[in-house]
């Protein structure tokens, strides 16, 4: 456990050597600082999701439009590579902090109650609302990412037939057809659906929680911000789910 | 009221000493008046146990009027029992039904080790206060009360935070055993008032550092603490603590 923690803290040791970053790194070693970083990485990942969804909704516009978009994206070359590295680093940081804070929380109560109730009334899910499901839904999202990258980045999805997306050299280059091939596979579509529901749950607590962690709490604004967060969470999840529905419908 | 007397089964956590294993023990208690407070009911239980030659149940209490924060009891899975804004000592037996089984446990959090039965050691809170929950003033003559102007709203905000009685229910109710509501109440109370300004940045940094050192969990923003708090301290103070902390961490002049 200690050795693992030492390895996990290596990036922090490295970053603290960069001038100006020492106080930031020091903040990250505290519970409040770690939550702060979780909120920032979480919101950045939402930023990515919004851009990704906006791009993918062009599937509705048909093969030509979507493939033109995909090509433009790939023509960014090294820029895309840098963005991808940044995205992976953000994911790694978010997950690392999730594990760090969750283990801190577990250690804080090693023997649990025989009986535990809540005084909060309206709970969307039992036992603490969506907030009790952050690790579970987070891990589902992580599992989804692995499958998703196999499916549509490496085009090596388990049991998926990419024939329609292939060019003369048997390379799966047609993005539109590749998406259709993956989403019309019932097992893949099923996994995507379940994981996107998990994403909706994760974000319905995550956005609200991130606002509070960043100190945004004011009685004039709470209702508006929380409503917006809820709509955004399910808007993003629903937006992606609509693509699965679309693929099922256009299966010919 | 048809029945003013309750016959109850009490499932009470018994533990002889800090590092010993504990267990639940069931006790029958008959003829409990609905006018009794919860602690008076425990007093009656102890009378009965002493009469039977058994060791009475150890539980913490002092003021018995909701201001000292000693009566830390988990009652049927709720910190301080089922009512909002109420301490265990202010809880009345009319809240329970005849024939009911009532489960009574100590606060469960590793920074609050059980001393005996239902009594836990909350010194961790004292050490957090010692780390920064104060103002340093070289005393001289008493200053004129009006020499430090504080707007009414600020006074009220500080008072809402100062209402915290340090009972630990927020820690007990939180699934992470986080002390953020307590610490935020103490940080807020002083950061809102002019008297708290000189030590503002160091206070929040030191108190959070001590909170982490004591081994409390982190805040998941579930708001279970706010619901359980007998002083109804709001999680708005946690948001303020977060702001204070980041401001101090990134921009303090030291
Ligand atoms: C697209 C992917 C993801 C997005 C957009 C996202 C977003 C967020 C946001 C905004 C928060 C709130 C931060 C806060 O508590 O202040 C959060 C919290 C959290 N996330 Fe994620 N997350 C994602 C993926 C993951 C993954 C893959 C995991 C785990 C393996 C994970 C685990 C957690 C946990 C455990 C929390 C904190 C729960 C708590 O203490 O309240 N997340 N996430
Ligand atoms: S914040 Fe509320 S629950 Fe926590 S110690 Fe203070 S009075 Fe008790
Ligand atoms: S005994 Fe003092 S608050 Fe309950």
Residue A120 pLDDT grade (very low, low, confident, very high; cuts 50, 70, 90): confident
Which residue ranges make up each domain of chain A?
1-129, 131-252
Query: When comparing pLDDT for A18 and A118, which is higher?
Result: A118
pLDDT score, position B175: 93
Residue with tokens 């307590």: B182
Residue B1 pLDDT grade (very low, low, confident, very high; cuts 50, 70, 90): very low
- pLDDT tens-digit profile of A132-185? 789 999 999 999 999 999 999 888 888 888 988 888 888 888 999 999 999 989
Pairing of strands B119-120, B114-116: antiparallel
- pLDDT tens-digit profile of B77-96? 999 999 999 999 999 999 99
Alpha-carbon distance of A52 to A239, in angstroms, equals: 11
Alpha-carbon distance of B237 to A45, in angstroms, equals: 27
- ipTM at complex level: 0.90
pLDDT at A124 over 60: no
- pLDDT tens-digit profile of A29-57? 899 999 999 999 999 999 999 999 999 99
Report the first-to-last Cα separation within chain B, whole angstroms.
65
Q: Does ligand 1 have an atom closer than 6 angstroms to the CB of A213?
A: yes
- A238 touching B, CB under 8 A? no
pLDDT score, position A164: 87
Residue A202 pLDDT grade (very low, low, confident, very high; cuts 50, 70, 90): very high
Which numbered atom of ligand 1 lies nearest the CA of A105? 40
Chain B residues in contact with A24 by the CB 8 A cut-off are 249-250
Please answer yes or no on whether B228 and A119 come within 8 Å at the CB atom: yes
pLDDT score, position A112: 92
pLDDT at B236 over 50: yes
- Predicted model pTM: 0.92
In B15-124, DSSP assigns E strands to 23-33, 74-75, 78-79, 101-105, 114-116, 119-120
Residues facing B92 on adjacent strands: B37
Cα B10 to averaged position of ligand 3 atoms, centre (Å):
21
How buried is B203 (Cβ within 10 angstroms: 0-12 exposed, 13-18 middle, 19+ buried)? buried
- pLDDT tens-digit profile of B162-211? 999 999 999 999 999 999 999 999 999 999 999 999 999 999 999 999 99
pLDDT at B130 over 50: yes
Residue A251 pLDDT grade (very low, low, confident, very high; cuts 50, 70, 90): low
Residues of chain B numbered 176-215 and touching chain A (CB < 8 Å)? 176-178, 208-209, 211-212, 215
Mean pLDDT score of chain A, rounded to an integer?
Answer: 88
Mean pLDDT score, A210-215: 96
pLDDT score, position A9: 63
Chain B residues in contact with A129 by the CB 8 A cut-off are 222
pLDDT score, position A126: 44
What percent of chain A shows pLDDT beyond 90?
A: 69
Q: What crossing angle do the helices spanning B200-214 and B236-251 adopt, rounded to 10°?
A: 110
Output the CA–CA distances (angstroms, integers) from residue B194 to A4, A84, A162, B149, B154, in the order listed.
Answer: 45, 48, 68, 8, 10
Nearest to B81 by CA among B39, B142, B117: B39
Instruction: List the domains of chain B with CATH numbers.
Output: 5-115 (3.10.20.30), 122-251 (1.10.1060.10)
Ligand 3 binding pocket, CB closer than 6 Å: B 61-64, 66-71, 87-89
Mean pLDDT score, A187-204: 95
Asked if B235 and B187 touch (Cβ cutoff 8 Å), the reply is: no
Cα B66 to averaged position of ligand 3 atoms, centre (Å):
4
Which numbered atom of ligand 2 lies nearest the CA of B225? 3
């Amino acid at each position: 456990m200690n050795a693992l923690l030492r390895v996990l803290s290596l990036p922090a040791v490295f970053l603290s050597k960069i001038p100006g970053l020492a106080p930031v790194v020091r903040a990250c070693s505290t519970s409040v600082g770690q939550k702060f970083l979780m909120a920032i990485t979480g919101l950045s990942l939402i930023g990515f999701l919004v851009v990704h969804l906006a791009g993918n909704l062009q599937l509705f516009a048909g093969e030509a439009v979507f493939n033109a978009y995909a090509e433009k994206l790939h023509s960014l070359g090294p820029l895309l590579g840098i963005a991808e590295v940044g995205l992976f680093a953000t994911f790694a940081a978010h997950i690392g902090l999730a594990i760090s804070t969750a283990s801190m929380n577990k250690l804080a109560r090693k023997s649990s109650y025989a009986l535990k109730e809540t005084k909060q009334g309206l709970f969307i899910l039992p036992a603490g609302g969506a907030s009790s499901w952050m690790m579970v839904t987070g891990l589902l999202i992580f599992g989804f990412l692995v499958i998703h990258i196999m499916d549509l980045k490496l085009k090596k999805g388990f049991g998926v037939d990419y024939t329609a997306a292939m060019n003369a050299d048997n390379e799966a280059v047609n993005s539109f057809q590749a998406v259709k091939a993956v989403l019309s596979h019932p097992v893949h579509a099923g996994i995507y659906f379940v994981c996107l529901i998990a994403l909706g749950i994760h974000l319905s607590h995550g956005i609200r929680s991130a606002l509070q962690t960043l100190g945004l709490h004011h009685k004039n604004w709470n209702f508006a911000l929380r409503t917006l967060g809820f709509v955004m969470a399910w808007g993003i999840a629903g937006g992606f789910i609509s693509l699965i529905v679309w693929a099922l419908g256009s299966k010919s | 009221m048809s029945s003013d007397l309750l016959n109850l089964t009490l499932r009470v956590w018994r533990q002889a000493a800090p590092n010993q294993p504990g267990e639940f023990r069931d006790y029958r208690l008959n003829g409990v008046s609905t006018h009794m407070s919860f602690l008076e009911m425990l007093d009656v239980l102890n009378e009965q146990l002493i009469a039977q030659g058994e060791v009475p149940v150890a539980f913490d209490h002092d003021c018995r009027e909701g201001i000292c924060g000693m009566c830390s009891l988990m009652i049927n899975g709720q910190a301080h029992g089922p009512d909002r804004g109420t301490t265990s000592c202010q809880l009345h037996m009319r809240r329970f039904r005849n024939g009911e089984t009532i489960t009574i446990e100590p606060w469960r959090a590793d920074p609050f080790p059980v001393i005996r039965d239902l009594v836990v050691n909350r010194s961790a809170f004292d050490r957090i206060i010692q780390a920064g929950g104060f103002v340093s003033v070289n005393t001289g003559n008493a200053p004129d009360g009006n020499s430090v102007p504080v707007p009414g709203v600020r006074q009220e905000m500080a008072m809402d935070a100062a209402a915290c009685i340090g009972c630990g229910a927020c820690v007990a109710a939180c699934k992470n055993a986080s002390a953020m509501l307590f610490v935020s109440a103490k940080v807020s109370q002083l950061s809102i008032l002019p008297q708290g300004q000189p030590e503002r940045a160091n206070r929040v940094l030191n108190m959070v550092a001590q909170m982490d050192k004591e081994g409390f969990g982190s805040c998941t923003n579930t708001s279970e603490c706010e619901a359980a708090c007998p002083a109804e301290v709001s999680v708005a103070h946690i948001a303020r603590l977060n702001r204070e902390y980041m401001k101090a961490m990134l921009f303090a002049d030291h």
